[in-house]
Structures are given as C-alpha cells and as structure tokens.
Amino acid sequence: MRAVLQRVTRASVTVDGEVVGAIDRPGLVALVGVTHDDGPEQVATMARKIAELRILRGERSAVEESAPVLVISQFTLYGETRKGRRPTWHKAASGAAAEPLVDAVATALREKGLEVATGRFGAEMAVDLVGDGPVTLVIDV
C-alpha cells in the first residue's frame, strides 16, 4: 500500500460538478494506492501512519490536532514508468480488490476519532487543495 500524504489548509473532491468530499480546515489529503498483496495488516499500518505522523504545524499529528483527513483512491500511484513513455498499471490492484481496502483505511481513521471525507472510488475526480508548507510525503507500507 502506498500513500501520498499532503498537509493542507483545505481540500475538496468534485465528481460531475458535485462536491463529494471536503475538509474546510487544516488537515491532510491522503492519496491511497493499493497493490496486489495488500490486506488488513497494510490497512492498519497505513491508517496509523496517516493518523500519527507528526507533520502538522508544531510537529503535531492529525490525532493530536483532531485534524480532518480527505482520503482519495489513487491507483496511479503504482504506475510503472521505468521504460518508454507510457505508464503501465500492472502493480496496481484491481478495483474489486482495492476499493474495500481504501474504504478500510478511511474506516480505521474514523475509528481513531478523526473526521474523514472521501472521494468516489473509480470516478473521474477533480481534486482542489491548498497545500500548507508545502509538506508532502510518500508512505509505503
């Protein structure tokens, strides 16, 4: 499982002109990608990392600040670009395998007491965010 985690002052996801997920105060955007051998262990580790990494202002975590998280599925995080000019997606899990795991990350974050908004799995999403810092990390578990 891989995530790109970005500290933001606000963020939203729009699908077909409708805002489907938004956070309106400082928090995190987590773009989450799933690969073939991911399961519950990776979900738990990823949720812990997102919730507890001390990347908010004052070296605080989302849990410490009760900061919101916008979780967005992102299969392209497993795009392979080493050869040629066209990425391949063979390392990304299928939608049927990935969707429940991305949902499980969001659920695990909620269980940690965080406010969680989400995108819409498989949709063409427009992501609007205001980066804070900027602080951006790639997390592999």
Task: Give pTM, 2 decimals.
Answer: 0.95
Catalytic residue among 9, 76, 81, 88: 76
* Domain housing 53: 2-140
User: Which positions ≥6 away from 44 have C-beta within 8 Å?
Assistant: 108
Catalytic residue among 14, 35, 75, 118: 75
Q: What is the pLDDT of residues 9-33, one digit of tens each?
A: 999 999 999 999 999 999 999 999 9
Is residue 136 among the annotated active site residues? no
Is residue 76 among the annotated active site residues? yes
pLDDT at 119: 96
Catalytic residue among 14, 35, 74, 118: 74
pLDDT at 7: 98
Percent over 90 (pLDDT), the chain = 100
Which CATH number do you get for residue 23?
Answer: 3.50.80.10
- In this structure, are strands 2-15 and 27-33 parallel, antiparallel, or unpaired? antiparallel
pLDDT at 75: 94
On whether the CB atoms of residues 114 and 62 are closer than 8 A, the answer is yes
Number of domains in the chain: 1
Is residue 75 among the annotated active site residues? yes
Q: What is the pLDDT of residues 80-106, one digit of tens each?
A: 999 999 999 999 999 999 999 999 999
